[in-house]
């Protein structure tokens, strides 16, 4: 089925502009301008800027507003792996030992608490001094040419894990992690009541300390009128809601707004969670540029917010949902503005810039996908000449040749046009993006253009190697197309990362085995994999048409922030069956797909640096019995 974009009343650009001109006739004058601070919260791997802040920054600055963008996620990890933070950890050790001693007076310590006590006792001054030295060295490695020494990079990543494990000791029972592992504050993310409890838990909530050390000093220095927080992952709710609560407590006159993909997915829930909504003033759903600009204009001019599209807001009378929505014209948007972000602090030796040429998905029919929930208008794209102009501008301004095209799925027609244009322009960039297996891309000429244009790494939506399951998903591809695509990308030096999952409704064990066997049979051309199990997201076509897919699901009313549901099936693999198949695949798949270094941006940089998609230095040692262990050396 096609994505349904009918969400609210879509209003025309002319109407938005006319309203804005009436409300802000003097918006260009200094007294009507607002100062905005945009925050990207933890947790995300700090390898490149997330695009939401630079995109909004460019739009607001073009309209004359002052913008301060803060990648608090990056600054947090830079701080975690520093002497300042680790000496704070050392000071907390006696407090945690005292806490455990008090507990032991009332009851016996659990085995986990006894282990914690022993670990805290080992957390001495000399041990912290050793960790400080190692952490600073690890940061130097990931930011320097030493990054391309696989053993040194693996050591640095190991140090990051070692440090976060030590940090966790003083925030127990929280578990502080480095993505892609998720920090666990020991509260449930799918319940607003537990998120609220986590916000005020001074024992486990490390983000309270992050606020005091990073966010609060920035607010005091910059004195913004509006603070916007971009929440793109549900995992960021803990940090985001903590920041919101502490801003409203300490700076009550600042308008706090939240937005991003996760907020959009909660659009039906937020009006019914007044306690959570009390932590901030407004929420922007769907696309944010015009909505945020109109919000900022309204605050600067003291006008009503009921006219702002894509907005849910709170005032003295309650929570209000504006029914009008707005979608951006991609061709009219300025290129992203990264000014103000500490580009030298990202955990990479050379900058990677995200760039978006399209919105929505040109295919829009995959039954398992809910990406269309972020939009109220269909697929749109910038012109190929505009993309080249903006990439040229960004390359020269920020002195980088590495780009991550963050489009949901790169359209084949644009892929063909853009690669040709990149070759003709001799722009000399290296890039990575996400793509479907398409019949229209099956030619050596297209892939030669991709290779010459600097395409280095592709996330490829495999999903399943069973054509029956692919038809159930409405993927509209075949195993023959998949096989040819893998061979072409491999032969032309492009690293392919194959993504799939088990347990789509109706999939059988035989389908799953066929899917895994297909990959094994083609492992010579498959460079890395990312597999999991099917999640029934509340916004997917499957959840909206359960009878069609033979499923029954249960939505627990207490789990108000749940994004997916537990379900049962009439036929095929159950959730538990799919987990067993996944575990079997994890244990038995080709060892060459297990990488020592699994951060996608790191693999991208390695392929770009070494000019090869055969990188055995990234693999764990293959056994001599493995027939594919004769890959060319870097």
- Using one digit for the tens of pLDDT, what is the confidence trace for 580-611? 999 999 999 999 999 999 899 999 999 999 99
Do the beta carbons of residue 501 and residue 532 sit within 8 Å?
Answer: yes
Do the beta carbons of residue 403 and residue 430 sit within 8 Å?
Answer: yes
Question: What does the CA dihedral 162, 194, 279, 250 come to, rounded to 10 degrees?
Answer: -50
Compute the distance between CA of residue 330 and CA of residue 482 in angstroms, rounded to an integer.
Answer: 31
Adjacent-strand bridge partners of 531: 500
Residue 128's closest CA among 169, 181, 182, 77?
169
Q: What residue spans in the chain does CATH classification 3.40.50.280 cover?
A: 34-75+204-323
Q: Which CATH number fits domain 350-618: 3.80.30.20, 3.40.50.12780, 2.60.120.260, 3.20.20.70?
A: 3.80.30.20
Other Cβ atoms less than 10 A from the Cβ of 29: the count is: 10
Other Cβ atoms less than 10 A from the Cβ of 565: the count is: 19
Adjacent-strand bridge partners of 321: 312
The per-residue pLDDT for range 210-237, each reduced to its tens digit, is 999 999 999 999 999 999 999 999 999 9
Question: What does the CA dihedral 95, 96, 97, 98 come to, rounded to 10 degrees?
Answer: 50
Collapsing DSSP to helix, strand or coil, 5 comes out as: coil
Residue 521's closest CA among 581, 578, 590, 613?
590
| Residue 118 burial by Cβ neighbours in a 10 Å radius (0-12, 13-18, 19+) | exposed
Q: What residue spans in the chain does CATH classification 3.80.30.20 cover?
A: 350-618
Q: Is the entire prediction scored with pTM above 0.85?
A: yes
Residue 634 pLDDT > 50: no
Compute the distance between CA of residue 184 and CA of residue 205 in angstroms, rounded to an integer.
Answer: 10
Residue 287: both structure tokens together: 């696309």
Residue 410: both structure tokens together: 């790169």
Adjacent-strand bridge partners of 568: 552
Look over the chain and give the mean of its residue pLDDT values, rounded to a whole number.
93
Q: Are strands 282-284 and 311-315 parallel, antiparallel or unpaired?
A: antiparallel
Residue 57 pLDDT > 70: yes
Residue 459: both structure tokens together: 């996330």
Strand blocks (E) in 464-508: 495-502
Compute the distance between CA of residue 365 and CA of residue 376 in angstroms, rounded to an integer.
Answer: 16
Residue 567: both structure tokens together: 């379900």
What is the tally of helices (H) and strands (E) in the chain? 23, 20
Residue with tokens 């390898």: 47
Residue 632 pLDDT > 60: no
Residue 193 parent element (H or E): helix 192-199
The per-residue pLDDT for range 8-18, each reduced to its tens digit, is 677 777 666 64
Contacts of 349 (CB under 8 A, 6+ apart): 142, 143, 144, 145, 147, 148, 605
> What integer pLDDT is reported at residue 625 of this predicted model?
38
| Residue 108 burial by Cβ neighbours in a 10 Å radius (0-12, 13-18, 19+) | exposed
Compute the distance between CA of residue 48 and CA of residue 601 in angstroms, rounded to an integer.
Answer: 8
Residue 481 pLDDT > 80: yes
Compute the distance between CA of residue 553 and CA of residue 461 in angstroms, rounded to an integer.
Answer: 26
Instruction: Say which residue, 374 or 184, is predicted with more confidence.
Output: 184
Question: What does the CA dihedral 606, 609, 610, 612 come to, rounded to 10 degrees?
Answer: 70
Q: What is the mean pLDDT of residues 78-91?
A: 97
The per-residue pLDDT for range 412-469, each reduced to its tens digit, is 999 999 999 999 999 999 999 999 999 999 999 999 999 999 999 999 999 999 999 9
Residue 133 parent element (H or E): helix 125-142
Q: What is the mean pLDDT of residues 188-211?
A: 97
Do the beta carbons of residue 62 and residue 30 sit within 8 Å?
Answer: no
Compute the distance between CA of residue 290 and CA of residue 306 in angstroms, rounded to an integer.
Answer: 14
Q: What is the mean pLDDT of residues 363-388?
A: 90
Compute the distance between CA of residue 175 and CA of residue 299 in angstroms, rounded to an integer.
Answer: 39
The per-residue pLDDT for range 127-154, each reduced to its tens digit, is 999 999 999 999 999 999 999 999 999 9
Other Cβ atoms less than 10 A from the Cβ of 125: the count is: 10
Q: What is the mean pLDDT of residues 25-43?
A: 78
Residue with tokens 């600054």: 75
Residue 396 pLDDT > 80: yes
b/e map of 344-357 (b: 16 or more CB within 10 Å)?
eebbbbbbbbbbbb
Q: Are strands 282-284 and 402-405 parallel, antiparallel or unpaired?
A: unpaired
Range 34-75+204-323 has CATH code 3.40.50.280: yes
> What integer pLDDT is reported at residue 619 of this predicted model?
86
Compute the distance between CA of residue 113 and CA of residue 119 in angstroms, rounded to an integer.
Answer: 10
Q: What is the mean pLDDT of residues 360-387?
A: 90
Residue 67 pLDDT > 50: yes
| Residue 570 burial by Cβ neighbours in a 10 Å radius (0-12, 13-18, 19+) | exposed
Q: What is the mean pLDDT of residues 307-321?
A: 96
> What integer pLDDT is reported at residue 17 of this predicted model?
60
Compute the distance between CA of residue 275 and CA of residue 297 in angstroms, rounded to an integer.
Answer: 27
> What integer pLDDT is reported at residue 42 of this predicted model?
97
Instruction: Say which residue, 205 or 29, is predicted with more confidence.
Output: 205
DSSP 112-126: HHHHHHHHHHT--HH
Residue 371: both structure tokens together: 């990406």
Share of the chain above pLDDT 70, in %: 94
Residue 232's closest CA among 83, 56, 58, 418?
56
Q: What is the mean pLDDT of residues 100-109?
A: 94
Residue 536's closest CA among 338, 341, 367, 362?
367
The per-residue pLDDT for range 251-294, each reduced to its tens digit, is 999 999 999 999 999 999 999 999 999 999 999 999 999 999 99
Compute the distance between CA of residue 587 and CA of residue 567 in angstroms, rounded to an integer.
Answer: 26
Do the beta carbons of residue 208 and residue 239 sit within 8 Å?
Answer: no
Compute the distance between CA of residue 50 and CA of residue 244 in angstroms, rounded to an integer.
Answer: 20
Other Cβ atoms less than 10 A from the Cβ of 311: the count is: 26
Compute the distance between CA of residue 145 and CA of residue 400 in angstroms, rounded to an integer.
Answer: 15
Q: What is the mean pLDDT of residues 317-324?
A: 95
């Amino acid at each position: 089925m096609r994505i349904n974009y009918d969400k609210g009343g879509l209003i025309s650009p002319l109407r938005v502009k006319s309203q804005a001109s009436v409300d802000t006739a003097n918006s260009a004058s200094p007294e009507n301008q607002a100062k905005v601070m945009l925050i990207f919260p933890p947790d995300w791997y700090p390898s490149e800027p997330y695009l939401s802040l630079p995109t909004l920054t460019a739009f607001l600055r073009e309209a004359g507003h002052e913008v301060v963008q803060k990648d608090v996620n990056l600054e947090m990890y830079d701080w975690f792996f520093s002497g300042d933070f680790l000496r704070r950890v050392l000071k907390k050790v006696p407090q945690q030992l005292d806490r455990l001693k008090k507990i032991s007076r009332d009851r016996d310590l659990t085995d986990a608490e006894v282990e914690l006590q022993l670990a805290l006792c080992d957390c001495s001054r000399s041990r912290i001094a050793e960790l400080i030295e190692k952490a600073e060295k690890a940061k130097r490695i990931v930011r320097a040419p030493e990054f391309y020494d696989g053993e040194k990079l693996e050591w640095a990543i190991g140090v990051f894990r070692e440090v976060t494990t030590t940090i966790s000791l003083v925030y127990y029972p929280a578990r502080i992690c480095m993505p892609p592992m998720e920090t666990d504050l020991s509260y449930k993310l799918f319940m607003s009541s537990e998120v609220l409890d986590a916000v005020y838990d001074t024992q486990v909530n490390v983000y309270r300390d992050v606020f005091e050390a990073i966010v609060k000093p920035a607010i005091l220095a910059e004195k913004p009128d509006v603070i916007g927080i971009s929440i793109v992952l549900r995992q960021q709710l803990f940090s985001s809601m903590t920041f919101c609560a502490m801003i409203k407590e300490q700076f009550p006159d600042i308008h706090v707004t939240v937005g991003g993909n996760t907020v959009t997915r909660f659009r039906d829930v937020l009006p019914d969670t007044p306690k959570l909504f009390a932590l901030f003033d407004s929420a922007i759903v769907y696309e944010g540029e015009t909505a945020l600009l109109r919000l900022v204009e309204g605050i600067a001019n003291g006008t009503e917010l009921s006219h702002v599209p894509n907005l849910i807001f709170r005032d003295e009378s309650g929570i209000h949902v504006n029914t009008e929505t707005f979608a951006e014209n991609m061709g009219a948007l300025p290129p992203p503005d990264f000014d103000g972000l500490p580009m030298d602090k990202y955990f990479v030796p050379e900058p990677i810039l995200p760039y978006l040429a399209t919105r929505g998905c040109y295919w829009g029919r995959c039954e398992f996908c809910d990406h269309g929930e972020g939009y109220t208008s269909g697929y749109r794209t910038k012109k190929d000449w505009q993309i080249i102009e903006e990439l040229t501008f960004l390359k020269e301004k920020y002195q980088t040749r590495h780009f991550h095209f963050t489009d949901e799925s790169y359209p084949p027609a644009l892929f063909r046009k853009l690669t040709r244009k990149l070759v003709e322009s001799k722009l000399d960039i290296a890039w990575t993006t996400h793509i479907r297996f398409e019949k229209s891309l099956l030619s050596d000429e297209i892939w030669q253009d991709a290779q010459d244009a600097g395409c280095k790494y592709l996330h490829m939506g495999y999903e399943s190697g069973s054509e029956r399951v692919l038809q159930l998903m409405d993927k509209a591809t075949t195993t023959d197309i998949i096989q040819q695509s893998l061979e072409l990308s491999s032969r032309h030096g492009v690293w392919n990362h194959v993504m799939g999952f088990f347990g789509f409704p109706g999939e059988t064990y035989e389908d799953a085995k066929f899917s895994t066997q297909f990959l094994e049979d083609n492992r010579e051309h498959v460079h890395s994999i990312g597999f999991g199990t099917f999640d029934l997201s509340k916004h997917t076509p499957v959840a909206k048409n359960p009878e069609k897919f033979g499923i029954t699901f249960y939505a627990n009313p207490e789990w108000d922030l749940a994004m997916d549901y537990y379900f049962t099936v009439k036929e095929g693999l159950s959730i538990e069956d799919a987990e067993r198949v996944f575990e079997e695949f994890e244990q038995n798949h080709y060892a060459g797909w297990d990488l020592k270094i699994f951060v996608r941006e790191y693999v991208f940089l390695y392929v770009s640096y070494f000019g090869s998609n055969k990188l055995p230095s990234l693999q764990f040692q293959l056994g001599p019995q493995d027939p594919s262990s004769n890959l060319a050396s870097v």
